[in-house]
Amino acid sequence: MRILLAEDDVELASRIAAALAAAGYAVDRAEDGADAEFRGQTEAYDAAVLDLGLPSLDGVSVLHRWREAGLTLPVLVLTARSRWHDKLAGFNAGADDYLTKPFQIEELVLRLQALIRRSTGHASPRLRCGALEFDANAGRFALDGDPLALTAQEHRILAYLIHHAGRVVSRAELGEHVYDNGYDPDSNALDVLIGRIRRKLGVALLHTVRGQGFRLSESP
């Protein structure tokens, strides 16, 4: 899962980015509104964390432009403003959730996880595909009840696939959503990682659909 973090407070952004990376997310950072708007319009993200007080272009304007362009990614808004009309402006612009500074980083991660789950049609934090279970809140996989050891990149790939279990995910889509700062379509790194995940699963859950991509499902 790939997140856009738009926050001009460098220290806070570093703390948020570290927590999201520890939770298994790829994170791209923007420090001003113009960059945030451009990245949101041109890159594939699963969610965004957007500060309203960004320089060059405020967060409400960024969000308005994203929604007017048809972008539907879930957006968690951050602000130092606690007044109701400021919150209302964020929601009217298309925000999905709201956090007022200061806040606990752990709460931000949990709220973002919930937004992503709901955007992919999952109400429960426990996602299943056959013998494979993913606890989205804890960020842990289990196979037949036993912990499944994965590298950071393997975890990102499998997390994206289980959120979209049952449908074919193209190589380009998968690459765009699990690599921070872009994806090289000419690299064979993705195929290597898919092979490693298959071996670790040891069961026929991860399928290659020739010419189309990959599908996580119990059936071929």
**CATH number of domain containing 40:** 3.40.50.2300
**Which residue type occupies 202?**
G
What SS3 state is found at 192? helix
H helices present in the chain, as ranges: 10-22, 33-42, 59-68, 84-93, 105-119, 152-163, 171-178, 189-201
Is 114 in the same domain as 130? Answer: no
18-66 tens-digit pLDDT: 999 999 899 999 999 999 999 999 998 999 999 999 999 999 999 999 9
The three state secondary structure string of 157-184 is HHHHHHHCCCCCECHHHHHHHHCCCCCC
Is 33 in the same domain as 75? Answer: yes
> Which structural domain range is residue 184 located in?
126-216
Supply the pLDDT for residue 169. Answer: 94
CATH number, domain of 159, equals 1.10.10.10
Residue 185 has pLDDT above 80, yes or no: no
Is 208 in the same domain as 135? Answer: yes
User: 50: which strand partners?
Assistant: 6, 77
Least confident of 25-39, 75-89, 104-118: 75-89
CA distance 58 to 56: 7
Last residue of a domain, one of 100, 119, 138: 119
Q: Provide the residue count of the chain.
A: 220
Residue 96 has pLDDT above 80, yes or no: yes
Supply the pLDDT for residue 183. Answer: 62
Query: 175: closest CA among 162, 163, 167, 187?
Result: 187
Q: How far is CA 197 from CA 34, 146, 208, in A?
A: 38, 15, 12
For residue 113, what are its two tokens? 């996880």
